[in-house]
């Protein structure tokens, strides 16, 4: 069967998670995904927006990551303004007329309504948007949203009866926690997120680390990430794998004896451990890199080498590596490889 190919219709100030989570999750499952925007070409970027409710009557908005397009809109054939673009509406109608799967989230249903393809359909959307097609209310519903879309593409998932633990901290990188977290949930895995000195329902602020032409990454405030379990009460032996996001959190988590003990426990039992970006600072501090091969964000190379590991150059930056039970990546552009390599260790497979 020919590989599945999906077109992601983008625009400036689309919601950050609502673009990147399905984009990288589907790629991790083996789907080819093209991201295109009217008036832009492959290699251009769309600015994104962080939307989150903070106790007010509607969501707050701040700047998100810059989302890099990998296809040109004109060759491949934001919501309010895209719904007025006849080329966009014609594209949507062609998918609908061909009865190809369409997945739309949050405010995206404005485009579906403008294209006239929601007549007599059942769907949902962000509460302020009633005209819809196939949708989820917001990014919190991504796991079900992506799972349903995979099924609509004819996909099936096996081996997903796994329990996975995320080791979180304040100002971990925004994408590096949410993309793998929801990608694994979408497969049917049970996924918990814990943070030292915090309980279930509490939140960790995240940081948006982006590459904007400077000598190092820039930083902006990200989404608040809700924890699902208490660190002090977690039974690490009940989990099949550990994931360590990057960002700034590993700098201080590496100094926590309980964190070090948790990581050593997974490594000593040879359970899969997936760590990305600055997460390898924790692995180095735990003394579990001796004799291993791994990569990390380039600025963490010294930690990796002093920890006794053989450094694997992340060239290009989205390259990831598996060494035994250990998966390592350099930064969030590598999520598709990072997630797919962890899936392989866990025996999870998506078939179309």
Closest CA to 180 of 15, 69, 297, 342: 342
Alpha-carbon distance of 178 to 206, in angstroms, equals 10
The owner of tokens 């625009």 is 11
Which pair of structure tokens corresponds to residue 342? 């962890």
Catalytic residue among 51, 78, 107, 142: 107
Catalytic residue among 277, 294, 320, 335: 277
Q: What are phi and psi of 111, to 5 degrees?
A: -70, -40
- Partners of residue 156 on adjacent β-strands: 351
* Cα-only R_g, the chain: 20
Q: Is 335 tagged catalytic?
A: no
Which pair of structure tokens corresponds to residue 350? 């998506």
Closest CA to 299 of 316, 277, 321: 277
* Local structure of residue 3 (DSSP, 8 states): P
Which pair of structure tokens corresponds to residue 280? 């390898």
Catalytic residue among 10, 37, 106, 168: 106
Catalytic residue among 46, 278, 294, 335: 278
Q: Is 209 tagged catalytic?
A: no
What does DSSP say about strands 60-68 and 45-52: parallel, antiparallel, or unpaired?
Answer: antiparallel
Q: Is 278 tagged catalytic?
A: yes
42-80 CB burial, b ≥16 within 10 A, e <16: eebbbebbbbbeeeeeebeeeebbbbebebbbeebebbe
* H-type alpha helices, the chain: 16-28, 73-76, 86-97, 109-114, 142-152, 174-186, 249-253, 257-268, 280-285, 301-306, 335-346
Closest CA to 107 of 73, 72, 69, 61: 61
Alpha-carbon distance of 283 to 226, in angstroms, equals 24
Q: Is 204 tagged catalytic?
A: no
Q: Do the beta carbons of residue 292 and residue 321 sit within 8 Å?
A: no
Catalytic residue ranges:
106-107, 277-278
């Amino acid at each position: 069967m020919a590989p599945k190919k999906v077109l992601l219709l983008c625009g400036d100030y689309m919601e950050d998670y609502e673009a990147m989570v399905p984009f990288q999750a589907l790629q991790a499952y083996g789907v080819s995904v093209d991201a295109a925007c009217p008036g832009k070409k492959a290699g251009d970027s769309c600015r994104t927006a962080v939307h989150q409710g903070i106790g007010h009557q509607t969501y707050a908005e701040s700047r998100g990551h810059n989302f890099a397009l990998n296809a040109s809109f004109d060759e491949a054939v934001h919501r309010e303004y895209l719904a007025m673009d006849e080329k966009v509406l014609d594209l949507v109608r062609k998918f609908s007329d061909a009865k190809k799967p369409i997945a739309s989230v949050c405010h995206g249903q404005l485009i579906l309504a403008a294209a006239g393809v929601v007549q007599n359909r059942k769907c949902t959307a962000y509460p302020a948007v009633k005209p819809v097609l196939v949708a989820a209310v917001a990014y919190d519903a991504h796991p079900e949203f992506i799972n349903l879309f995979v099924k609509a593409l004819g996909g099936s998932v096996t081996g997903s009866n796994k329990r996975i633990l995320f080791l979180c901290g304040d100002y971990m990188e925004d994408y590096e926690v949410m993309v793998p977290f929801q990608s694994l949930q979408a497969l049917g895995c049970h996924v918990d997120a814990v943070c030292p000195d915090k309980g279930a329902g509490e939140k960790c602020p995240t940081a948006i680390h982006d590459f904007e032409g400077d000598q190092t990454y820039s930083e902006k405030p990200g989404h608040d990430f809700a924890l699902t379990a208490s660190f002090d009460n977690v039974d690490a032996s009940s989990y099949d794998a550990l994931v360590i996001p990057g960002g700034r959190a590993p700098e201080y988590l590496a100094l926590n004896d309980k964190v070090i003990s948790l990581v050593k426990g997974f490594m000593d039992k040879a359970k899969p451990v997936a760590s990305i970006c600055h997460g390898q600072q924790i692995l180095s501090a735990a003394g579990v890199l001796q004799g291993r091969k791994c990569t990390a964000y380039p600025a963490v190379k010294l930690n990796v080498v002093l920890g006794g590991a053989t450094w694997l150059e992340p060239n290009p930056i989205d390259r990831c590596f598996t060494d035994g039970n250990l998966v390592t990546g350099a930064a969030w552009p590598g999520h598709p490889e990072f997630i797919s390599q962890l899936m392989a260790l866990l025996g999870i497979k998506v078939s179309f």
